[in-house]
């Protein structure tokens, strides 16, 4: 593309559109010294207001599994004035990345859970933990972004202004809690392990164990879910390892039986 965004004393070269919706368009670009950035530009007033909150929380938080703030404000793109939020480009989101193996999904959930526990300790609820907002930095590190509808826990009783299927049902009724973010992370993890082309999930002990943890974390009743994101991630890891152990034991017994039949 080659367009230049002038924002404060900085300039950012926009290279390609990486996401677009009715509310925002997000560009991949370069900042000073070749810094890879993601530039979000709102398309309407509602999106602009959300972007102000996104910038507020993103600048405030500092965690390796949260997207990193660079700058925000009103700048110029060509001859037009525009609002923009610039963060370090974290890479493709979970949907763009494609399906994950079980071990990769457990790693992703663990890292995003760490970020959520940090955010919750700061008395904030994200309210939109979705595959669109979980980014792969290098295939081994994951980051959570987009705090446009995040709110303090004391104000989280107000209902969410969207109908995203990944958002916990109580968010639209009585308001969100940290367990609402646990629900969304669990559902995002479920999406991550789904095979391509509509194939069925493999019926292994490990898959069944992980599926059970996700099932309880997406319970309609928030009090039946894990109390924290970290608790969910630990349960996921423990059941995954237990499932693997059962797979190994079954394979070992089968090998022993085959050997006995042979001799």
Contact 159, 176 (CB under 8 A): no
Tell me if 256 is assigned to some domain. Answer: no
Q: Which domain holds residue 167?
A: 94-248
List the CATH number of the domain containing 75. Answer: 3.30.200.20
Task: Specify whether 204 is located in the same domain as 170.
Answer: yes
The C-alpha atoms of residue 104 and residue 193 are separated, in whole angstroms, by 9
Both structure tokens of 14: 């926009």
Please check whether residues 138 and 229 belong to one and the same domain. Answer: yes
Last residue of a domain, one of 88, 119, 149: 88
Sole residue written with tokens 């923009």: 84
Answer yes or no: is 236 within a domain. yes
Residue 29 and residue 57 share a domain: yes
Same-domain status, 48 and 141: no
Q: Same structural domain for residues 212 and 114?
A: yes
98 and 148 together in one domain: yes
Based on the structure, what is the number of domains in the chain? 2
Rounded Cα distance, 227 and 172, in Å? 20
Element (H, E) at 146: none
Domain termination residue (choose one: 88, 117, 148)? 88
- Label residue 157 by pLDDT band (50, 70, 90): low
Q: Which of 88, 142, 149 is nearest to 124 (CA)?
A: 149
Is the torsion defined by CA of 83, 87, 92, 95 positive or negative? Answer: negative
In-domain check, residue 133? yes
98 and 84 share one domain:
no
On whether residue 111 sits in a domain, the answer given is yes
pTM for the whole thing? 0.91
Determine the Cα angle at 138 with ends 134 and 142, to 5°. 30
CATH number of the domain that 149 lies in? 1.10.510.10
Establish if 144 belongs to a structural domain: yes
**Residue 99, CA atoms < 13 Å, CB-side half-sphere:** 11
Whole-angstrom distance, CA of residue 63 vs CA of residue 92: 19
pLDDT tens digit string along 70-122?
999 999 999 999 999 999 999 999 999 999 999 999 999 999 999 999 999 99
Task: List, for residues 25-77, the tens digit of each pLDDT value.
Answer: 999 999 999 999 999 999 999 999 999 999 999 999 999 999 999 999 999 99
- pLDDT (average), residues 246-262: 69
Mean pLDDT to the nearest integer, 135-150:
93
Same domain flag for 119 and 216: yes
Together in a domain, 73 and 103:
no
- Picking from 29, 63, 88, the residue at the C-terminal end of a domain is 88
**CA-to-CA separations, 145 to 83, 166, 196, 211, in angstroms, rounded:** 18, 15, 25, 25
**80 and 106 part of one domain:** no
The fraction of the chain above a pLDDT of 90, given in percent, is 77
- Is there a domain that residue 233 lies in? yes
- Shared domain for 161 and 101, answered yes or no, is yes
Angle (nearest 5°) at CA 145 between 123 and 17 = 155
């Amino acid at each position: 593309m080659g367009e230049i965004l002038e924002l404060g004393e900085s300039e950012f070269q926009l290279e390609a559109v990486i996401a677009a919706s009715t509310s925002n368009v997000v560009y991949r670009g370069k900042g000073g010294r070749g810094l890879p950035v993601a530039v979000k530009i709102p398309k309407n007033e509602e999106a602009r207001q959300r972007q102000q909150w996104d910038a507020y929380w993103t600048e405030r938080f500092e965690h390796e599994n949260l997207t990193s703030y660079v700058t925000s404000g009103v700048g110029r793109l060509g001859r037009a004035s525009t609002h923009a939020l610039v963060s370090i480009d974290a890479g493709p989101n979970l949907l763009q990345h494609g399906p994950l193996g079980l071990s990769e999904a457990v790693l992703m959930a663990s890292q995003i859970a760490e970020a959520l526990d940090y955010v919750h300790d700061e008395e904030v609820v994200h309210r939109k933990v979705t595959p669109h907002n979980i980014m792969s930095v290098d295939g081994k590190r994951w980051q959570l972004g987009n705090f446009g509808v995040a709110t303090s826990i004391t104000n989280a009783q107000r209902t969410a202004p969207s109908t995203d299927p990944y958002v916990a049902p109580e968010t639209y009724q009585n308001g969100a809690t940290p367990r609402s973010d646990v629900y969304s992370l669990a559902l995002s993890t479920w999406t991550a392990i789904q095979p391509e082309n509509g194939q069925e999930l493999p019926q292994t002990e490990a898959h069944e164990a992980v599926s059970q943890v996700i099932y309880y974390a997406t319970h309609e009743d928030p009090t039946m879910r894990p109390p924290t994101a970290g608790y969910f991630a630990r349960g996921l890891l423990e059941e995954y390892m237990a499932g693997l152990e059962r797979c190994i034991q079954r394979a070992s017994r089968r090998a022993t039986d085959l050997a006995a039949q042979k001799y």
